Structure 1
Amino acid sequence: MDFARVLRVFHEAGARVILVGGVAGRLHGAARLTDDIDFVYDRDDDNLRRLAEALAPFAPYLRGAPPGLPFEWGVRALRAGLNFTLQTSLGPIDLLGEITGGGDYAALLPHSLEGTVFGVPLRVLSLERRIAVKRAAGRPKDLEAIAELELLAEERDQQAS
């Protein structure tokens, strides 16, 4: 997975996304590794077009779908669905219209931070909102991650004071 290239592809397309998954956790200092990259995306028509065009050259296909299952990537697919777990020639990319405990792009935007990673400007979900989202999801892997994330938040707060 070429995380830097994925970020550049979305940035160059002007796509409005917020980094929310394990890569976001790593940016906050979490030790857990991840094989994919997760974004919550703005679902307005202009952004759907930007996302569709940005990923089209990288052969997006539904991850885990049987080979040969008819799937045509584009604005229509994005409009018809919500959350997409995609396999691409860049690697696995999850495009999420909303996330449990966090909502959609507009709801998460005030809880995101601006940053630069690999020289690419991006928005990343705040550590506090990441903890809340993990708690709301309640999956075993999410619950395991909360203790580490809370410790990172404590350390950050101690350094700030």
Structure 2
Amino acid sequence: MNQMIDEPLDRLRAAARRTRELALNRASTGLSHQDADVVGTIGTDDAIGFDPFPLLEALHHSGVRAVVIGQVAGIMHGSTELTGDLDLLWDGAPAHAPALAAAFTSVNAQLIDEKGIPVAPHPESFLRPKALFTSPGASGDCCTPALPWGDLRVQDFLDHAITAVDPGGLEVHYASRRDLIRMRRAIGRPKDLRRADELDSFTSVHSGRVPGDPA
């Protein structure tokens, strides 16, 4: 696993701050991250007060290895598009579910089903292929490799993940650029294809590689 120091987290902090500023005086629209196929969640209520760090810190302290995917990972790779949601991928192992549930509970997160009905944040609730969550700082999806991803071996993406570390010791795992592009193209929504093209255009000045990609 590759490890990068601080810079990706600096980018994420700056982007989250900018998202909060843009959404500060916005009237509620009633739209959530489930309604953001084109513009992205920057245009939904999930952007109001967006701050993924309380949940990321809770996951770090819980010891559960959850990998950031979606546009938060894109921002950590240098994407310029803002977002208002946090999507996660974990291994789905029942033995890890209690610690995962404890991390979400510690930030007052709530789970909802596909119809928007609240679900108790018990360990077994996270064992579904996808758990939708809301919290005071961030909302999004918490997925396992059991979620259909076409022909992608998403389990391997957990092994390819990069770890960003800040000076205080916070570790945030996030999908490699290559895997993130593949996930975006597999999902195929307009915002995913646009963001995949953006990530695909990044190149390293010195080596032809994008920093953060597996060697």
Q: Distance in 2 between matches of 1:9 and 1:103?
A: 27
1:12 paired residue number: 61
Look up the SS of the partner of 1:42 in the other structure.
coil
Deviates more, 1:69-78 or 1:31-40: 69-78
Q: Is the 8 A contact 1:28 1:127 kept in 2?
A: yes
Unaligned runs of 5+ in 1: none
2:183 paired residue number: 133
Q: Is the 8 A contact 1:135 1:142 kept in 2?
A: yes
Q: Distance in 2 between matches of 1:118 and 1:91?
A: 23
Q: Distance in 1 between matches of 2:89 and 2:54?
A: 18
Q: Is the 8 A contact 1:18 1:125 kept in 2?
A: yes
Q: Determine if the alignment matches structure 1 residue 74 to structure 2 residue 118.
A: no
CA 142–76 in structure 1, closer or farther in 2 if over 3 Å, else same:
same
2:31 paired residue number: none
**Identity across matched positions, percent:** 25
Give CA-to-partner distance per residue, 1:27-48, whole Å, 9 cap, x none.
Answer: 1000111101111012112211
Paired residue type of 1:85: L
CA 103–38 in structure 1, closer or farther in 2 if over 3 Å, else same:
farther
2:197 paired residue number: 147
Q: Distance in 2 between matches of 1:118 and 1:3?
A: 18
Q: CA RMSD in A?
A: 2.2
Unaligned runs of 5+ in 2: 1-49, 209-215
1:39 paired residue number: 88
Paired residue type of 2:92: R
How far off its partner does 1:130 sit?
A: 0.9
How far off its partner does 1:6 sit?
A: 1.5
Give CA-to-partner distance per residue, 1:115-156, whole Å, 9 cap, x none.
Answer: 22584112211111111111111111111112211111xx22
How far off its partner does 1:7 sit?
A: 1.1
1:159 paired residue number: 206
Look up the SS of the partner of 1:159 in the other structure.
coil
* TM-score, length of structure 2 as denominator length: 0.64
Q: Distance in 1 between matches of 2:190 and 2:206?
A: 30
* TM-score, length of structure 1 as denominator length: 0.83
Which runs of structure 1 show a deviation greater than 3 angstroms over 4 or more consecutive aligned residues?
63-66, 101-104
Paired residue type of 1:86: F
Aligned residues, how many? 154
Match of 2:159 among 103, 107, 110: 110
In terms of fraction of residues, the more strand-rich structure is: 1
In terms of fraction of residues, the more helix-rich structure is: 1
Match of 1:23 among 28, 48, 72: 72
Paired residue type of 1:147: D
Q: Is the 8 A contact 2:112 2:118 kept in 1?
A: no
Q: Distance in 2 between matches of 1:91 and 1:114?
A: 20
